[in-house]
């Protein structure tokens, strides 16, 4: 009996939701794999540092270059730092950083766990009473939840630095003016909510990637497919979840300037 | 040596979708016995031993290990049974991200109260036992197939199991390694009194380790007895199987 892609999608989504439920039930229970968590935080964090730095720098420079022309036409060049800060901190930084990390980490985690499945390493953990769900899934997902906001803050900072470099080169803007203008319209709730939401994006990347890797059946071809599906699935879920979070944050905290 | 079965499967049935893999298996292994399950590819051998350690649950029937019914256990109770069982996987299943030493220490750290020096002593004892103490800092990828199997055996033994399950312990090994791994399995039974269940289609391995042999065919045990008795059974499947293994280089 063959299953249609639609029923397969809903079956996968249902199973993924069940895994998410298991995560919240088991994350409080022993064993607490602190050492593996630290190792995964290093894997997620410091090894993504260069990638997010380059991403941030490119975002800042390009955004400043693209916006300058339009703002100059309306005589509003002075608001460029403020516009940059709002765009970067509220939306572009968190979403682009999370998507870039979904690409790097989603594929890596799904492929690593999938390879462990096909080479019986997960069975070996289970047979040795080592609780693979705790050791593999909870640690990786928690590492993503903790490191995504930190990496996002860093990317935001680098992007603003990139924007300042562009402004300095294009108009000789003083850094004190840039900084004071950039932060005058930004609220602390913007930084907290919009950086904090990347923790949810990290949860999505961790769960989707680990779920798809954990459930690989077959061989290397299926491992490759799981890696690809992890990136696509996590990226789509990040974008959809962002819509919901932004709507909710506007309802709760109000829009910028209100 | 007690004759009370330490492993008992009663009427075990297992299907995957429309595929009937096990069709009412009755199987017993006495304490300290080395039992070998033979059969062609796809006959259900691996599925059978995965039931013993609770990796698979039967659709019907019962699985008993050390007097406890495994197929109804879950969580910590199942883990307690699993800690008395060592499992040598076909691929070795060593953790790629860890060195040989870390692979073994990982098990001890979680399941024993040993101090670090005690763990080191225990690990070196078993690495010496399998003849590979110098490989302690190597990664699994740096080992040959035979070395990986021996390290995996040392890892499976490090917690001192009462029962060892071997899934194709000699597949992919050259004849010298087949003999060396098989002799380790025999030493394990003789020196430590470990009960063994081995799945193999390697005649040399079966000759060295088997107290009794069970031949699995199309999801059912076709015949049981000594290796000679099983080989002498008049059945086309057995003739075909032993004909092909006899002619293996």
DSSP string, A192-255: HHHHHHHHHHHHHHHHHHHHHHHT--SSHHHHHHHHHHHHHHHHHHHHHHHHHHHHHHHHHH--
- Yes or no, beta carbons of B89 and A126 under 8 Å apart: no
Contact A31 B90 (CB under 8 A): no
Within 8 A of B85 by CB-CB distance, chain A residues are 127
Q: Helices A139-171 and A34-44: crossing angle, nearest 10°?
A: 30
- Secondary structure class of B62 (helix, strand, coil): strand
Residue ranges covered by each domain of chain B: 5-246
| A184 touches B: beta carbon within 8 Å | no
Tell me what pLDDT residue A257 has. Answer: 55
pLDDT, position B244: 66
Who contacts B140 (Cβ-Cβ below 8 Å, separation ≥6)? B92, B94, B95, B96, B100, B103, B148, B151
Q: Which of A128, A133, A135 to mutate to test the interface with B (most CBs of B within 10 A)?
A: A128
Which range of residues forms the domain containing residue A191?
31-244
In-domain check, residue A2: no
Cβ of residue A219 closer than 8 Å to a chain B Cβ? no
A121/B96 Cβ within 8 A: yes
Instruction: Select from A115, A119, A130 the Cβ nearest to the Cβ of B110.
Output: A130
In chain A, which stretches have pLDDT less than 50?
none
Omega cis (within 30) before A31: yes
- B15-39 pLDDT, tens digit each: 998 999 999 999 999 999 999 999 8
Entry pTM: 0.86
Q: How far apart are CA A116 and CA B97, in angstroms?
A: 10
Per-residue pLDDT, B119? 95
**C-alpha to C-alpha distance for B244 and A113, rounded to whole angstroms:** 37
CB-based contacts of B106, cutoff 8 Å, min separation 6: A130, B95, B98
**What span, in angstroms and rounded, lies between the C-alpha atoms of A203 and A105?**
12
- What chain A residue is nearest to B49 in terms of C-alpha separation? A127
Which chain A residues are within 8 Å of B95, Cβ to Cβ?
A: 116, 121, 124
Residues of chain B with pLDDT under 70: 1-3, 244-249
Superfamily grouping for domain B5-246: P-loop containing nucleotide triphosphate hydrolases (3.40.50.300)
A177 domain residue, yes or no = yes
Domain annotation covers residue A21: no
Q: Are B188 and B172 in contact (CB under 8 A)?
A: no
How many interface pairs between A and B have CB atoms less than 8 angstroms apart?
A: 49
Interatomic CA distance for residues B150 and B131, integer angstroms:
8
Has residue A80 been placed in a domain?
yes
Predicted confidence at residue A1, as pLDDT, reads 52
Q: How many domains does chain A have?
A: 1
Q: Does B94 touch chain A (CB under 8 A)?
A: yes
Task: Say yes or no for a CB contact (<8 Å) between A128 and B159.
Answer: yes
Q: Round to whole Å and give the CA distance between A60 and A91.
A: 13
Cβ contacts (< 8 Å) between B89 and chain A: which residues?
120, 123-124
The beta strand positions in chain B, using DSSP E, are 5-16, 19-30, 34-38, 60-65, 68-69, 85-88, 163-167, 195-199, 212-217, 220-225
* Cα–Cα dist A37/A140, whole Å: 7
Token digits of residue B12: 């075990």
Interchain pair B94, A121: CB under 8 A: yes
ipTM of this predicted complex? 0.88
């Amino acid at each position: 009996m063959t299953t249609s892609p639609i029923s397969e999608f809903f079956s996968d989504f249902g199973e993924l939701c069940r895994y998410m439920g298991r995560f919240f039930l088991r994350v409080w229970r022993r064993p607490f794999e602190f050492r593996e968590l630290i190792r995964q935080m290093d894997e997620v964090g410091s090894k993504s540092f260069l990638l997010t730095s380059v991403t941030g720098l490119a975002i800042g420079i390009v955004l400043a270059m693209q916006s300058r022309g339009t703002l100059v036409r309306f005589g509003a060049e002075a608001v460029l730092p403020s516009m940059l800060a709002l765009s970067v901190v509220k939306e572009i930084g968190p979403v682009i950083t999370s998507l870039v990390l979904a690409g790097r980490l989603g594929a890596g985690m799904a492929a690593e766990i999938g390879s462990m499945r096909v080479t019986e390493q997960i069975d070996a953990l289970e047979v040795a009473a080592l609780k693979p769900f705790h050791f593999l899934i909870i640690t990786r997902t928690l590492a993503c939840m903790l490191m995504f906001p930190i990496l996002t803050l860093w990317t935001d900072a680098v992007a603003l630095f990139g924007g300042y470099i562009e402004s300095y080169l294009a108009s000789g803007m003083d850094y004190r003016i840039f900084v004071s203008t950039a932060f005058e319209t930004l609220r602390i709730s913007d930084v907290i909510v919009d950086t904090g939401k990347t923790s949810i994006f990290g949860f999505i990347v961790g769960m989707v990637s680990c779920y798809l890797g954990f459930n690989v059946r077959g061989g290397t071809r299926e491992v490759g497919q799981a890696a690809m599906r992890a990136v696509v699935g996590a990226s789509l879920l990040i974008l959809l979840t962002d819509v919901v979070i932004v709507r909710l944050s506007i309802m709760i905290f109000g829009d910028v300037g209100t | 040596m007690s004759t009370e079965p330490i492993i008992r499967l009663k009427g075990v049935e297992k299907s995957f979708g429309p595929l009937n893999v096990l069709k009412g298996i009755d199987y017993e292994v006495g304490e300290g016995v080395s039992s070998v399950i033979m059969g062609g590819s796809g006959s259900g051998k691996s599925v059978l031993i995965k039931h013993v350690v609770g990796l698979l649950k039967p659709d019907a029937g019962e699985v008993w290990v050390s007097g406890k019914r495994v197929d109804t256990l879950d969580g910590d109770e199942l883990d307690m049974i699993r800690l008395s069982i060592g499992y040598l996987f076909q691929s070795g299943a060593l953790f790629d991200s860890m060195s040989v030493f870390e692979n073994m220490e990982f098990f001890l750290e979680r399941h024993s109260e040993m101090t670090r020096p005690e763990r080191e002593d225990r690990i070196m004892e078993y690495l010496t036992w399998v003849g590979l103490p110098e490989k302690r800092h190597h990664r699994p990828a740096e080992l040959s197939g035979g070395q990986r199997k021996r390290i995996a055996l040392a890892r499976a033994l490090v917690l001192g199991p009462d029962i060892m399950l071997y899934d194709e312990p000699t597949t992919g090994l050259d004849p010298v390694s087949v003999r060396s791994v098989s002799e380790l399995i025999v030493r394990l039974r003789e020196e430590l009194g470990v009960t063994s269940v081995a799945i193999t289609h390697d005649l040399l391995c079966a000759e060295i380790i088997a107290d009794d042999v069970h031949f699995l065919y199309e999801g059912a045990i076709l015949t049981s007895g000594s290796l000679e008795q099983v080989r002498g059974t008049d059945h086309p499947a057995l003739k075909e199987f032993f004909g092909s293994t006899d002619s293996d280089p």
